[in-house]
């Protein structure tokens, strides 16, 4: 977790409500690394966060357990998934216990003395923030970070670090039940990456304009000697900047400050250009044009931190990606299902689903083209669980069918309790819907064919279906 940054900090007792979330679990790990006594509670916890907390020696109790208040902790940090009426929240308020939010605790105890690199946007925050952190690490700057995923180069989602630099995934979701501002207004970055801006989080925002207002609040916090990195083709972000900007900006994209030249259609090899001049070539494990664009933003951000551009390019060649971002669960090695590849991905917004499947399709085509005797490759199978609050409200229902245009077959899990249906007639391919994980597993086991590429997409655990499917196909 890195060396303790703050010298002589008195040890505190900190209890975290909602510790199973990636962000709050990261806060727990950072507090532990600072020397504080940390505990937490939640209603459910599963890997990878359960593994990280166990490795950090952080005890986790059930969310109904309020015994933590008997010790009169110095602070209770309340996650934004918690609300009034929940047992631990009501007990904390009734005890007149000191409490704060995760973003505020992070700002007060860690970020106030750091050069903060914040990565915001509807999509690509985790990937871009991970790239930034890895480039800084490759440049031997040992950054701290708090990321909403697990970068495979590090194996943890949070680290204190022992340099001035701290990389944070800057989420626009609200801070806590008592602070309805976006999380990212607490971070005060010196280097700020704005990836994109689309309508999402319909449970707290009514329109794109509402989200733009929060993004402009973030822009207002970036100092004049800082930098904002953004794409050159995002109208919603342009409108945010037009509301007022007091910070230099650099653009990435086609014919921008930072641009690229593809050597492989799937994005696995590309040249990086700055103002038309070649910086170097990235040859990495990642695929997808969206990741090429994320890489340009990461390079621009780290160059602002003092990293030489060619070093940033070299570092990206060794970037290994993020768990649950097209993570290969396994490839079936035998039997009549041989060659089936199963991927786990976090995509849950129509744009993210589309870019994930487009990248998977390009990767399949690219790999096939390199065979000495190209063969007809298998189908691209999309399996998804629309479990985010916005999805379950039906906000993206109309745009979902187009998001799956690259898939040959689409399978979905829809819980009966969500009380909504997919527009099956709008899908160009066959849509299979099940209301239980077991039924979906059985159907996939029977219907998948040798050579298929299966991309399983959910922002939750998906009932462990990824590993169960690989296991049952291997045993077939």
Q: Which of 258, 315, 294, 279 is nearest to 135 (CA)?
A: 315
Per-residue pLDDT at 390: 58
Place domain 110-316 in its CATH homologous superfamily. Mur-like, catalytic domain (3.40.1190.10)
Side-chain-side CA neighbours of 214 within 13 Å: the count stands at 28
DSSP for 30-61? HHHHTT-EEEEEES---TTHHHHHHHTT-EEE
pTM equals 0.76
Q: Which two tokens stand for residue 273?
A: 């250009």
Please say whether the beta carbons of 165 and 113 come within 8 A. Answer: no
Q: Strands 13-17 and 179-182, how do they pair?
A: unpaired
Query: Please, how many CA atoms are within 13 Å of residue 325, restricted to the half-sphere of its CB?
Result: 25
Counting other chains too, the contacts that 42-46 makes at CB distance below 8 Å and 24 or more residues apart are 42/17, 42/18, 44/20, 45/19, 45/20, 46/20, 46/461
Q: What pLDDT was estimated at residue 130?
A: 97
Q: How far apart are CA 19 and CA 40, in angstroms?
A: 6
Distance CA 299, CA 150 (A): 20
Instruction: Compute and round to an integer the Cα radius of gyration of the chain.
Output: 22
Strands 269-274 and 258-262: antiparallel
Angle CA 58–62–66, to nearest 5: 95
Residue 443's H or E segment, with its range, is: helix 437-447
Whether 110-316 and 327-474 share one fold: the answer is no
Calpha distance 423→153 (Å, rounded):
40
- Which residues in the chain show pLDDT less than 70? 1-9, 201-202, 348, 367-377, 388-399
Strands across the sheet with 258-262, in order?
158-159, 144-146, 165-169, 115-120, 191-194, 227-231, 249-252, 258-262, 269-274, 277-283
Evaluate whether the domain defined by 13-101 bears CATH number 3.30.1510.10: no
Specify the CATH number of the domain 327-474: 3.90.190.20
State residue 206's pLDDT score. 82
Render 183-220 in DSSP notation, one character per residue: GGGGS--SEEEE-------TTT-SSHHHHHHHHHHHHH
Domain ranges within the chain, ordered by starting residue: 13-101, 110-316, 327-474
What CA–CA distances, in Å, run from 154 to 52, 158, 397?
12, 9, 36
Kind of pairing between the strands at 99-101 and 115-120:
unpaired
**How many angstroms from the chain centroid is the CA of residue 173?**
13
């Amino acid at each position: 977790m890195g060396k303790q940054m703050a010298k002589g900090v008195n040890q505190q007792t900190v209890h975290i409500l909602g510790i199973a979330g990636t962000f709050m679990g990261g806060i727990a790990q950072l507090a532990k690394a600072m020397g504080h006594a940390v505990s937490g509670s939640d209603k459910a916890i599963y890997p990878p966060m359960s593994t990280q907390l166990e490795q950090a020696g952080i005890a986790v109790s059930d969310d109904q357990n309020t015994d933590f208040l008997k010790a009169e902790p110095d602070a209770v940090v309340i996650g934004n998934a918690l609300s009034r009426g929940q047992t631990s929240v009501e007990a904390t308020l009734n005890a007149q216990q000191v409490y704060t939010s995760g973003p505020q605790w992070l700002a007060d105890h860690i970020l106030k003395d750091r050069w903060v690199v914040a990565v915001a946007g509807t999509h690509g925050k985790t990937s871009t923030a991970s790239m930034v952190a890895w480039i800084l690490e490759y440049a031997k700057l040992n950054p701290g970070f708090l990321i909403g995923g697990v970068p495979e180069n590090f194996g943890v989602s949070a680290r204190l670090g022992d340099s001035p630099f701290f990389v944070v995934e800057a989420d626009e979701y609200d801070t806590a039940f008592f602070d309805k501002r976006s999380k990212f207004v607490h971070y005060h970055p010196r280097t700020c990456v704005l990836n994109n801006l689309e309508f999402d989080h319909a449970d707290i925002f009514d329109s794109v304009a509402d989200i733009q207002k929060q993004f402009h609040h973030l822009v207002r916090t970036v100092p004049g000697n800082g930098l904002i990195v953004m794409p050159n083709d995002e109208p919603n972000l342009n409108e945010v900047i037009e509301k007022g900007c007091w910070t230099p900006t650099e653009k990435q994209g086609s014919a921008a400050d930072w641009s690229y030249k593809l050597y492989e259609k799937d994005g696995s090899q590309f040249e990086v250009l700055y103002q038309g001049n070649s910086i170097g070539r990235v040859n990495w494990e990642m695929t997808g044009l969206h990741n090429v664009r994320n890489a340009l933003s990461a390079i621009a951000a780290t160059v602002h931190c003092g990293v030489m551009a060619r070093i940033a390019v070299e570092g990206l060649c060794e970037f290994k990606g993020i768990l649950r971002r097209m993570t290969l669960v396994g490839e079936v090695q035998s039997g009549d299902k041989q060659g089936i590849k199963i991927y786990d991905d976090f995509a849950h917004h129509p744009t993210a689903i589309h870019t994930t499947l487009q990248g998977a399709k390009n990767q399949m085509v690219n790999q096939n083209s390199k065979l000495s005797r190209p063969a007809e490759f298998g189908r691209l199978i999309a399996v998804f669980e629309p479990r985010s609050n916005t999805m379950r409200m039906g906000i993206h229902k109309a745009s979902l069918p187009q998001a799956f245009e690259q898939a040959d077959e689409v399978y979905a899990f829809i819980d009966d309790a969500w009380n909504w249906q997919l527009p099956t007639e709008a899908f160009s391919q066959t849509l299979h819907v099940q209301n239980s994980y077991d039924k979906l597993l059985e159907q996939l086991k029977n219907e998948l064919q040798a050579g298929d590429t299966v991309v399983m997409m959910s922002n939750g655990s998906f009932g462990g279906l990824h590993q169960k499917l690989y296991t049952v196909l291997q045993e077939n």
